[in-house]
Amino acid sequence: MKNPHDIIRRPLVTEKSMALMERLVYSFEVSGDANKIEIAKAIEIVFPGVKVVKVNTMWVPAKRKRFGKHVGYTSKWKKALVTLTEDSQQLDFFGQA
């Protein structure tokens, strides 16, 4: 298995993801070649005390961007929505006790 920190790149903190956190659904940017089983195992290793119920993944498409007269595209990336069990502790991204 790959290193769990290579699979999970970063948590996504947006208004929508903060609302989902109340229902124990967390959003992460993950490696493009990671599958759902690897993502679930990586979450359980990186965050001890949590149990993953299901993982939904999706590809976020590249967007067209202009920089003056030059046109380019952002990179596409993979997003994972991870649902935890009810008895799991909440993940602490902000270091609050």
Dump pLDDT digits (tens) for 14-62: 999 999 999 999 999 999 999 999 999 999 999 988 999 999 999 999 9
Q: Which domain holds residue 41?
A: 4-84
Question: Global pTM?
Answer: 0.88
Q: Is residue 75 part of a domain?
A: yes
Q: Which helix (H) or strand (E) holds 39?
A: helix 36-46
Task: Give the CATH number, domain containing residue 54.
Answer: 3.30.70.330
Q: Is residue 93 part of a domain?
A: no
**What length does the chain have?**
97
| Structural domains counted in the chain | 1
Q: How many CB atoms lie within 10 A of CB 59?
A: 10
Two structure tokens written together for 81: 């929505």
Q: Is residue 97 part of a domain?
A: no
